[in-house]
Structure 1
Amino acid sequence: MVRGNVFCVVKKVLNNGADVNIRGGRYGNAFQTALLKGYKKIVQILVDRGADVDTQGGEYGHVLQTALLGGYKKIVQILVDKGTNVDI
């Protein structure tokens, strides 16, 4: 869903009822993939649509760990603002 950072496609899929927390794939879910790739705009829409900001899975564990490993400060701030557990 997030491969290629195609925001319009992601938005359309979400508007058609896609589950933002569905699990699968190498990174655990679409949210983890967007975090890992640093796709801030996609991360924001997934969070706005109810992505679990404390989800874990895939190769990188907790979503906050994923964002920190990538060095994505703005994405880390999005997660903190949405209430992610910082005691990981």
Structure 2
Amino acid sequence: QGASLGGSRRLVKLLIDHGADVNAQRGYYGTALQAACWTGNRATIGLLLRRGADVDALGGFFGDAYHAAAFGGHRR
């Protein structure tokens, strides 16, 4: 989540390659995908989706990735 929020695609990839759960839930942002959607980092969003992130996962303040993107002001 922190790597996604910070926009570090390389770190996100490294963590996933070493076994990180792309759908892990924790804290304010819920999932790594929700954090990436809030920041609008398309490269990280794409990586997470390709690696199996659940776009419909519920959790965190925003509820899901769609709402996280909307709260972040991102329409795409």
Interval containing the TM-score (normalised by the shorter chain): 0.7 to 0.9
> Percent same amino acid at aligned positions?
38
Deviation of residue 62 (structure 1)?
A: 2.2
Q: 1:15 aligns with which of 14, 17, 26?
A: 17
Report which of the two structures shows the higher radius of gyration computed on alpha carbons: 1
Return the alpha-carbon distance in structure 2 between the equivalents of residues 4 and 64 of structure 1: 19
The alignment's TM-score, normalised by the length of structure 1, stands at 0.74
| 1:42-65 deviation line (CA, Å, top 9, x unaligned) | 011000000001111111112212
| 1:20-63 deviation line (CA, Å, top 9, x unaligned) | 00110211121111111111110110000000011111111122
Structure 1 spans left out of the alignment, 5+ residues: 75-88
CA RMSD between the two structures: 1.3
The alignment's TM-score, normalised by the length of structure 2, stands at 0.84
Segments ≥4 residues shifted beyond 4 Å: none
Deviation of residue 4 (structure 1)?
A: 2.1
Structure 2 spans left out of the alignment, 5+ residues: none
Question: What is the count of residue pairs matched by the alignment?
Answer: 74
